[in-house]
Chain A
Amino acid sequence: MLKQYPTFRFVLMRAGWYFLTFLVAVTINFFLPRLGKNNPVDIIMGKAATGLSNEDARKKEEKYLQEFGLAKVGKDGQLLRDAEGKPVKAGRLEQFGNYIKMCLMGDLGTSFQKYPKKVVDVIKEAVPWTIALQLPTILFGWIVGNVLGALAAYRRGVFDRVFFPLALILSSFPFFVFGMLLVYYFAVVLPWFPAMGGYANSIMPSFSTAFFSSVAYHYVLPFFSIFLILAGGQAIGMRSMGIYELGTDYIKYAKWLGLKEGKVLTYLFRNAMLPQITGLALSLGTMIGGALITEMIFSYPGLGMAMLTAIQNNDYPMIQGCTLIVTVSVLIANFTVDILIGFLDPRVKAGLQMGKGV
């Protein structure tokens, strides 16, 4: 079936696999946080119950169990109780059913820790910042790193001898150390840039030049804290790939044929780039999860912190919501690259045309 349309068949098969992966991932996302012994209400009660009598604390706990859907509720709207009068906890499968039902209706539930905020709202507020910080940084770092890496591989000489160790040092710097050094030197010692925040506290977010220039000003240090390290890493990868490709027969053949240097470089770049594209897809996919460390170092808005506190507090709906969008974005990014590679890599294309499939 569909043998005469190998491309379409390829896309469809990949999509099928990705859908399956999605289902498995969603199930794991649901059950993983629930495997631990402690439940989120216990964590909340630790903070909320100090000084309350046992009776008051019990009432409060039951109220939370009911509100968060962790206990069964009878038809009269009251909690169902067992023989000892304790509320009957809702089963995991039942909760899973509810979760799937709500997901399908586009409702990710209400956060426990950020009650009464909806998970969707938390994500909606944080994701634009996360994308604004991560997407340009990743793309720009990827492009600059690869171009410099390819140049270093092709040119060698002094450029490479200076550039390569520098890139190596940059890429092996932990994000947080580099970020803190940036804050220390460029915000504290030399007060050129603000140390924290997404925009100045004295400005109202609005469509004004004042706001946008404030955002841009606050963007500099977080941007460079990721960008430089990322570019360094990409450059090293690209350089090694480039050097490897330089030794291959087709390049030698191309040179021997007397092709122009620019043409040879294009061939080289195209082939060496393939693994780099896979890397790019992975980083783009996981970027939604937020740059937690960058957020913490710069008090920068974003989803990373929301996810961390959710996990620390067993905030099931929040964890599920975050992991869901991370899952979806990783899968989409990978799917896109899979398809792209199919078109970019002649070997894959050739394999398809010979009917072997992938």
Chain B
Amino acid sequence: MKCVTVLKRLVVGAALLGLVSCGGGKDSGGGETAGGGSESGFARGKTLYLAGSQWGDPNTFNPLAESWQAAWPVNDKFNLMYETILSYNSLDGKFEPLLGTLVSRDNDKVVVDLNPNAKWSDGQPVTSADVKFVFELGRRFPGAATAFAIDFISGIKVETIDGGVERLSFMVDKTKRNNPLVILDHLQAIRIVPAHVFEKLLADNGNDLGAVQKLKIDKDPVISGPYNIEHYSNERIVIRRRGDYWGNEALYGGKLPAPEYIIHPIYKNNDHFAIALQKGDIDASQTFMPRIWLKKKDGVSTWYDDAPYFVPGAMPMLLINTTKAPLNDPQFRRAMAAAISYADIKELAVSGYAPDVQPGLIMNQGLEGKYFNAEDAKEFGVTCDPENAKKILAAAGYKSVFKSDGSLDYMTDKAGNKLPTMSITVPAGWSDWEAMVKIAEKGFRAAGMDIREGPVDASLYWPALPSGNFDLIMHKPAASVTPSLPWNRFESVMSSRNWVPVGGDNKMNENQGRYNSPKDKGYNPKVDELLKKIPTLEKEEDLAVAYRELNRIFMKDQPSIPLCYLPEQFYEFSSKAWTNWPTSANPYAPPLLPMVGASTKILWGLQPAK
């Protein structure tokens, strides 16, 4: 016994040594600078805790890696280490200056002036060479993460204007996509990297981008943003304020961002975000927390004090495979849309975090609300009305056979043929989506449509989506609020630009439901015309007309069924350690964590709690 206990102690000791060595090995970048002295750790009053943007181990901090591979804050469009040229304010739709300022935009070009004060952390200025490097990387390497940019931009013209300011003209590629709108998306999403650093890395690695992408770039990287990587492990990522960040002078009147450290803990369980926020262990999170009103007493706050608590921005929906009978029948699809209880979805699946959903693909809220037309929605759209669903089905010749206990047995089409049971593909374990699908299923079956929930592993969900290998599938296209909304959403659902039939290795990365086949005799060329035209329209009146027409077609054809409006990001915060978070009463920044786009300025607005 004794011997075993001693042995146990030895083993624990050895294991702890192992923990230290694996945790400590990585902070060689700035080991001894650990904040407030490594003994006492990071003082709460100087440290901001953010969560929900990094799931799983941090793998690489390489800005040239794919966004899904890179770790926070190098992934997504976070502006803490590498910065974009512009930042987009999703509240007022304005472009705010960052590395550059928007000068003008027309159908030929988007013009920006680079900020002459912008500097890399090694003291070199941020120049047009850096911008060209990342935007045109796709011309040199087809596999570059930003290769999609060259489909839109034919070239970047540089001229030097007064005061040595570099004026960049992003030329619209008229032969390819001819879409200045998406160029604006890119300007607020593609982060600029230091060309002088990466050109050298490329040269050192035999001009092999793949080899450069394998580098982790996690030790004292050359960045332009206000925070740099300090330490990371599989449990958290720590970044530290840079005293010499160029933007403090140039953008914030000499002020420093309030938190000296930002720590992003990595949790493995959704409940931990809520627990940590309630305990004041984290300051803000972007995760779905059910029944948030119960957490208010513990200091958890949201944008609005009352329902819907969040600002809507995205539209989870049921995509329909329009190549399969009876789903190829617009009447059947409209009947489906009429059978779903959207009120139940709102209350039961998403805790009421959404305003009422409207027919069509345009929200009646936010920036796109100006394109929403209530009369059209009434005339062309269907709303929840189970009796109407039954009526539409009966008029189109569908018959439902119910069992003696009142549950649905099967359905027949016009010719009297029995229809197969259809299923709704949804990733198992995505609880809010599963709840939405369950409610939809209930409505479908009550109206006599033989459709069931089909939960699959996420590893089957992702391949099913582009291949069209589904009857109905849950999807959230255009998940973030960008300058190109709502065009982007229409494009994702209705475009036949790359239309290929289901089968073989065929994949579509938009319109996965294969709506509006160009080879069909029922092809409606108007849809693709409008999708091509809208990005080039400059007058609001023209845009309103075009969107109205497109939305009418959507409502008539119903290629997908939006289920509710959800926020772009669940923005929840606690004022226990930091105050002055933006809210609907104090909307100085959009409701996003203080690292996304125009919300990065929250870092300069926060105040330590007394």
8 A Cβ contacts from B568-609 to A: none
Contact call B38/A198, Cβ cutoff below 8 A: no
Also in contact, A54 and B509, with CB within 8 A (given A45-B466, A197-B235): yes
How many residue pairs at the A-B interface have CB separations less than 8 Å?
A: 201
Closest to B210 in A: A67
Which of chain A's residues has its CB closest to B275's CB?
A195
Specify the chain A residue showing the minimal Cβ separation from B498.
A54
Chain A neighbourhood of B287, CB < 8 A:
none
A11-19, A94-102, A149-157, A291-299: which lies at the B interface?
A291-299
Residue B374 at the chain A interface, CB threshold 8 Å: no
B508 interface contact, C-beta 8 A: yes
Answer yes or no: A163 CB below 8 A from chain B CBs.
no
Residue of B nearest to A311 (CB): B459
Within the assembled complex, what's the spacing in Å between the Cα atoms of A18 and B239? 48
In angstroms, Cα B59 to Cα A111, docked, is: 10
CB pair B57 A201 closer than 8 Å: no
CB <8 Å contact, B509 and A136: no
Contact pick for B268, options A59, A122, A296, CB 8 Å: A296
Q: How far is the CA of A309 from the CA of B216 in the complex (A)?
A: 21
Docked CA distance A53–B22 (Å) = 42
How many Å from the CB of A4 to the closest CB on chain B? 33
Complex Cα–Cα for A138 and B231 (A): 33
* A139 part of interface (Cβ distance < 8 Å): yes
On whether A204 and B148 interact (CB within 8 A), knowing A43-B459, A116-B59, the answer reads no
Assuming the contacts A43-B463, A116-B213, A314-B459, asked whether A53 and B498 have C-beta atoms less than 8 A apart, the reply is yes
- Of B19, B62, B269, which is within 8 A of A299 by CB? B269
Interface string of B3-16 (1 = CB under 8 A from A): 01000100110011
Chain A residue with the shortest CB-CB distance to B21: A128
From A115, A196, A203, A208, B272 is in contact (CB under 8 Å) with A196
Residues of chain A with a CB closer than 8 A to B281's CB: 201
A residues less than 8 Å from B497 (CB atoms)? 53
Which of B39-47, B241-249, B307-315, B406-414 is near enough to bind chain A? B39-47
Given A50-B509, A301-B235: A208 touches B39 (CB 8 Å cut-off)? yes
Q: Does residue B227 face the partner (Cβ distance < 8 Å to A)?
A: no
Which of chain B's residues have a CB closer than 8 A to the CB of A309?
A: 56
Cβ A47 vs Cβ B275 within 8 A? no
Partner of B22, one of A43, A49, A124: A124
Q: How far is the CB of A246 from chain B (nearest CB, A)?
A: 22
- Asked if B147 CB lies within 8 Å of chain A CBs, one says yes
Interface string of B459-492 (1 = CB under 8 A from A): 1111101110000000001000000000000001
Which of B66, B147, B265, B508 touches A197 (beta carbons < 8 Å)? B265
Stretch touching chain B among A210-218, A230-238, A253-261, A342-350: A210-218
Query: Which residue of B is nearest A208, CB measured?
Result: B39
CB distance from B8 to the nearest CB of A (A): 6
A59 (CB) vs chain B CBs: closest residue: B142
* Chain A 302-323 near chain B by CB (<8 Å), digits 1 or 0: 0001100100111000000000
* Cβ contacts under 8 Å, A295 to chain B: 268
- A263→B124 CA distance, assembly (Å): 81
Contacts of A42 in B (CB 8 A): 462-463, 467
Verify if B391 is at the interface (C-beta below 8 Å from A). Answer: no
Chain B hits for A296, CB < 8 A? 268-269
Q: Identify which of A38, A205, A212 contacts B23 (C-beta below 8 A).
A: A205
> Which residue of B is nearest A134, CB measured?
B15
Tell me the complex Cα distance, A21–B263, Å: 46
* A262 part of interface (Cβ distance < 8 Å): no
Per-residue CB contact flags for chain B residues 269-286 toward chain A (1 = under 8 Å, else 0) read 100100110010100000
B272 contacts which chain A residues (CB < 8 A)?
Answer: 195-196, 299
> Cβ of B56 and Cβ of A114 under 8 Å apart?
yes
What residues of B have a CB within 8 angstroms of the CB of A129 in the complex?
19
A127 to B459: give the CA distance in the assembly, Å. 25
Q: CA separation between A131 and B59, bound complex, in Å?
A: 22
Q: Does B27 contact A (CB under 8 A)?
A: yes
- In Å, the complex CA distance between A135 and B281 comes to 30
**A202–B147 Cα gap in the complex (Å)?**
39
Question: A204 contacts B27, CB within 8 Å?
Answer: yes
Q: Is A188 an interface residue when CB atoms closer than 8 A count as contact?
A: yes
* Bound-state Cα–Cα, A38 to B456, Å: 13
Nearest B residue (CB) for A308 = B268
Interface centre among B213, B269, B460, B500 (most CB of A within 10 A): B269
Name the distance in Å between A335's Cβ and chain B's nearest Cβ.
Answer: 19
Contacts of A132 in B (CB 8 A): 12, 15-16, 18-19
Cα distance A88–B492 when bound, in Å?
31
- Return B106 CB to nearest CB of chain A, in Å: 24
Given contacts A191-B279, A299-B267, contact A198 B151 (CB under 8 A): no
Contact of B57 with A306 in the complex, beta carbons under 8 Å: yes
CA distance A155 to B198 in the complex (A): 74
Q: Is B236 interfacial (CB 8 A cutoff)?
A: yes
| Residue of B27, B148, B459 touching A313 (CB-CB under 8 A) | B459
Knowing A54-B500, A117-B57, A188-B275 touch, does A128 contact B22 (C-beta < 8 A)?
A: yes
**Chain A 58-113 residues near chain B, CB threshold 8 A:** 59-60, 63, 67, 86, 111, 113
Whether A210 contacts B235 in the complex (CB less than 8 A), given A43-B463, A196-B272, A201-B265, comes out as no
Determine the distance from Cα of A63 to Cα of B147 in the docked complex, in whole angstroms.
13
A114 to chain B, nearest CB (A): 5
Tell me the minimal C-beta distance from B234 to chain A in angstroms.
Answer: 6
Q: Whose C-beta in chain B lies nearest to the C-beta of A38?
A: B463
Q: Which of B49, B69, B231, B275 contacts A115 (CB 8 A)?
A: B69
Is A120 engaged at the interface, CB distance under 8 Å to the other chain? no
CB pair B22 A125 closer than 8 Å: yes
Partner of A56, one of B41, B68, B147: B147
Q: Mark A22-50, 1 if CB is under 8 A from B, else 0.
A: 00000000000000001000111111111
Q: Mark A129-150, 1 if CB is under 8 A from B, else 0.
A: 1011001100110010000000
CB contact between A116 and one of B43, B214, B460, B500 (< 8 Å): that residue: B214
Within 8 A of B (CB), among A174-214: 183, 187-188, 191, 195-208, 210-212
Give Cα A212–Cα B16 distance, bound, in whole angstroms.
Answer: 8
Q: B residues within 8 A CB of A111?
A: 59
Query: Cα distance A185–B68 when bound, in Å?
Result: 37
Is B143 in the interface zone, CB < 8 Å from A? Answer: yes
- B507, CB-defined interface residue at 8 Å: yes
For residue B458, CB closer than 8 A to chain A, the reply is: yes
Q: Which residues of B contact A126 (CB under 8 A)?
A: 234
Residues of A within 8 A of B268 (CB): 295-296, 299-300, 305
Q: Is the CB of B269 within 8 A of A51?
A: no
**Complex Cα gap A126–B550 (Å):** 52
Which of B15, B65, B143, B462 contacts A47 (CB under 8 A)?
B462
In the bound complex, residues from chain B placing their C-beta under 8 Å from that of A274 are none
B457 within 8 A of A: yes
Interface residue ranges of B556-576 to A (CB < 8 Å): none
User: 5 additional contacts, CB 8 Å, given A126-B234, A129-B19, A212-B16?
Assistant: A49-B466, A114-B57, A196-B272, A207-B20, A296-B268
The 4 closest A-B pairs by CB, nearest first: A46-B462, A205-B23, A128-B18, A132-B15
Pick 26 A–B contacts, CB within 8 A, sort by A. Answer: A38-B460, A42-B462, A45-B462, A46-B462, A48-B66, A49-B466, A53-B509, A57-B507, A60-B143, A86-B505, A116-B60, A116-B65, A116-B69, A131-B18, A132-B12, A136-B8, A139-B8, A204-B27, A204-B42, A206-B34, A211-B20, A299-B267, A299-B269, A305-B268, A312-B459, A313-B458
**Chain A residues near B (Cβ < 8 Å):** 38, 42-54, 56-57, 59-60, 63, 67, 86, 111, 113-117, 122, 124-129, 131-132, 135-136, 139-140, 143, 183, 187-188, 191, 195-208, 210-212, 215, 295-297, 299-301, 305-306, 309, 312-314
